[in-house]
């Protein structure tokens, strides 16, 4: 029987653990925190917040894998009335529709964007500078980067398509991401996976393959490999609980600069106490900017979409996510150029900044399955059996 050690009990680590155990391996998971989940944890208490806005995109392979195992659980659909309250800031005012020229970048049959060009240059040639900038800023909801237009055109185009697809691909597990993590942990437990929390690993075990499913920074320190770096975003995160008021926007996308606010209790009222609504936002900031710069921009969006919000605040939290929002690809690079899953000597990487395709959590999922496939000596891991 194969013995596999998984370091990290987040989404990638639990995916790897379940897949390996289903394939017959004896698996041990080490998680340094006192609870499982990593960045997919949901805060305990009256306000069920995640580490920034979270959604599951139904177009990826992880959706099928989770659904086959009954791990998705109940979802929180967006009521039609709430969906109609989506707003876009353009030229300083809120509007219901994007600039007409921006639609040129979303039309069916548009050419595949090149990897080697930056998105702003490519999109400007097709739709003009104003539309290109608006589209780049809108894509920040799936990028968490302060300058999406400077990234690879192919990389941004894929995320723009996924974020604007109708019907929407984004879905929300009721009760927050912790509900999915709990079901994944229960599945792993029932398969015989040994899970150790408050278990920090400083030296790699030598009794079998190891899947390092941590942040890339943590993997670099653990493996002593300075090559484990990749560009990511830096984002001001803001969470607010407001007293409920009719007419508030559901979500606000900033087309003047990258940024996004979303009222998560619009679809899931279990995330905050009765009479209160939970708003989460992400405002990408440049390396030279401070958290306060992102807060200023977030408050500008709040002023436009949530009238009188300052007098309605009952709880507030602010933080900065630095390199914790997944990989971004610069012009001339793609996911294949990121740090390889196979590190040699039976060590494999999994996470959202390594060489695997997909959007957001899909990268963690795909890299986890790849890592287990390699560790078990399989070329690929069948999704129905893994």
Residue 300: closest CA among 269, 254, 268, 244: 254
Q: Are residues 222 and 337 in the same domain?
A: yes
List all residues 6 or more positions away from 181 whose beta carbon is below 8 Å from its beta carbon: 11, 14, 36, 37, 40, 41, 42
pLDDT at residue 379 above 80? no
pLDDT at residue 321 above 80? yes
Q: Are residues 84 and 214 in the same domain?
A: no
Q: Are residues 85 and 163 in the same domain?
A: yes
pLDDT tier at 309, thresholds 50, 70, 90: very high
pLDDT tens readout for residues 169-209: 989 999 989 999 999 999 999 999 999 999 999 999 998 99
Q: Are residues 222 and 240 in the same domain?
A: no
120 in any annotated domain: yes
Q: Are residues 272 and 220 in the same domain?
A: no
User: How high is the pLDDT of residue 305?
Assistant: 95
66 in any annotated domain: no
pLDDT at residue 241 above 70? yes
User: How high is the pLDDT of residue 360?
Assistant: 87
69 in any annotated domain: no
Query: Considering the chain, what is the average pLDDT of its residues?
Result: 93
E-strand stretches of the chain = 3-7, 26-31, 56-57, 86-90, 93-95, 170-171, 194-197, 210-212, 232-243, 251-254, 260-263, 276-284, 313-327, 342-344, 347-349
Facing residues of 90 across strands? 93
pLDDT tens readout for residues 205-227: 998 999 999 999 999 999 999 99
Better-predicted residue by pLDDT, 1 or 138: 138
Residue 223 C-alpha from the chain's centroid: 25
Q: Are residues 240 and 158 in the same domain?
A: yes
User: How high is the pLDDT of residue 90?
Assistant: 96
pLDDT tier at 386, thresholds 50, 70, 90: very low
Number of domains in the chain: 2
User: How high is the pLDDT of residue 244?
Assistant: 95
Can you give the C-alpha Rg of the chain in angstroms?
21
Mean pLDDT of 294-303: 97
Residue 140: closest CA among 284, 262, 352: 284
71 in any annotated domain: no
Q: Are residues 144 and 267 in the same domain?
A: yes
CATH value at residue 135? 3.90.660.50
Global pTM reads: 0.94
Q: Are residues 183 and 106 in the same domain?
A: no
pLDDT tier at 384, thresholds 50, 70, 90: very low
pLDDT tens readout for residues 12-36: 999 999 999 999 999 999 999 999 9
Is 214 within 8 Å of 257 (Cβ atoms)? no
pLDDT at residue 368 above 50? yes
382 in any annotated domain: no
303 in any annotated domain: yes
CA–CA separation, 266 and 262 (whole Å) = 9
pLDDT tens readout for residues 83-114: 999 999 999 999 999 999 999 999 888 999 99
Report the alpha-carbon angle 271-274-278, nearest 5. 40
User: How high is the pLDDT of residue 59?
Assistant: 86
70 in any annotated domain: no
Q: Are residues 148 and 131 in the same domain?
A: yes
User: How high is the pLDDT of residue 385?
Assistant: 42
pLDDT tier at 52, thresholds 50, 70, 90: confident
pLDDT at residue 382 above 60? no
Q: Are residues 366 and 254 in the same domain?
A: no
Q: Are residues 135 and 199 in the same domain?
A: no
Q: Are residues 300 and 343 in the same domain?
A: no
CA–CA separation, 190 and 213 (whole Å) = 21
User: How high is the pLDDT of residue 142?
Assistant: 92
User: How high is the pLDDT of residue 383?
Assistant: 41
User: How high is the pLDDT of residue 260?
Assistant: 96
User: How high is the pLDDT of residue 381?
Assistant: 54
CATH value at residue 9? 3.50.50.60
Query: Where in the sequence is the domain holding 364, given as residue range(s)?
Result: 3-46+175-229+333-376
57 in any annotated domain: no
């Amino acid at each position: 029987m194969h013995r596999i050690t998984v370091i990290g009990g987040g989404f990638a680590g639990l995916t790897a653990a379940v897949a390996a155990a289903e394939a017959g391996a004896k698996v041990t998971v080490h998680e340094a925190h006192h609870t499982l989940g990593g960045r997919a944890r949901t805060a305990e208490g009256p306000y069920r917040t995640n580490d920034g806005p979270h959604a599951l995109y139904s177009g990826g392979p992880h959706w099928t894998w989770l659904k086959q195992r009954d791990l998705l659980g109940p979802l929180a659909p967006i009521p039609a009335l709430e969906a109609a309250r989506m707003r876009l800031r353009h030229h300083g005012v809120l509007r219901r529709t994007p600039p007409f020229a921006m639609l040129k970048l979303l039309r069916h049959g548009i050419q595949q964007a090149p990897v080697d060009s930056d998105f702003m240059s490519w999109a400007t040639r097709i739709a003009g500078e104003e539309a290109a900038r608006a589209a780049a800023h809108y894509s920040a909801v799936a990028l968490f980067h302060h300058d999406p237009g400077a990234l690879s055109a192919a990389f941004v185009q894929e995320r723009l398509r996924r974020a604007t697809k109708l019907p929407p691909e984004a879905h929300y597990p009721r009760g927050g991401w912790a509900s999915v993590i709990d079901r994944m942990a229960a599945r792993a437990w029932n398969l015989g996976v040994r899970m150790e929390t408050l278990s920090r690993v400083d030296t790699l075990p030598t009794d079998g393959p190891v899947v390092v499913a941590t942040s890339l920074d943590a993997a670099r320190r653990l493996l002593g490999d300075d090559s484990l770096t990749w560009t990511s975003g830096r984002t001001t995160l803001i969470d607010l609980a407001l007293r409920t008021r009719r007419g508030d926007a559901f979500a606000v996308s900033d087309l003047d600069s990258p940024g996004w606010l979303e009222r998560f209790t619009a679809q899931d009222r279990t995330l905050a106490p009765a009479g209160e609504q939970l708003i989460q936002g992400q405002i990408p900031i440049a390396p030279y900017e401070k958290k306060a710069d992102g807060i200023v921009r977030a408050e500008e969006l709040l002023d436009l979409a949530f009238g009188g919000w300052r007098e309605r605040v009952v709880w507030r939290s602010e933080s900065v996510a630095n390199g914790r929002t997944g990989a971004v690809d610069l012009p001339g690079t793609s996911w294949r150029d990121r740090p390889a899953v196979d590190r040699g000597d039976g060590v494999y990487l999994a996470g959202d900044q390594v060489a695997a395709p997909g959007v957001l959590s899909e990268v963690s999922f795909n890299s986890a399955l790849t890592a287990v496939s390699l560790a078990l000596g399989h070329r690929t891991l069948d999704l129905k059996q893994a």
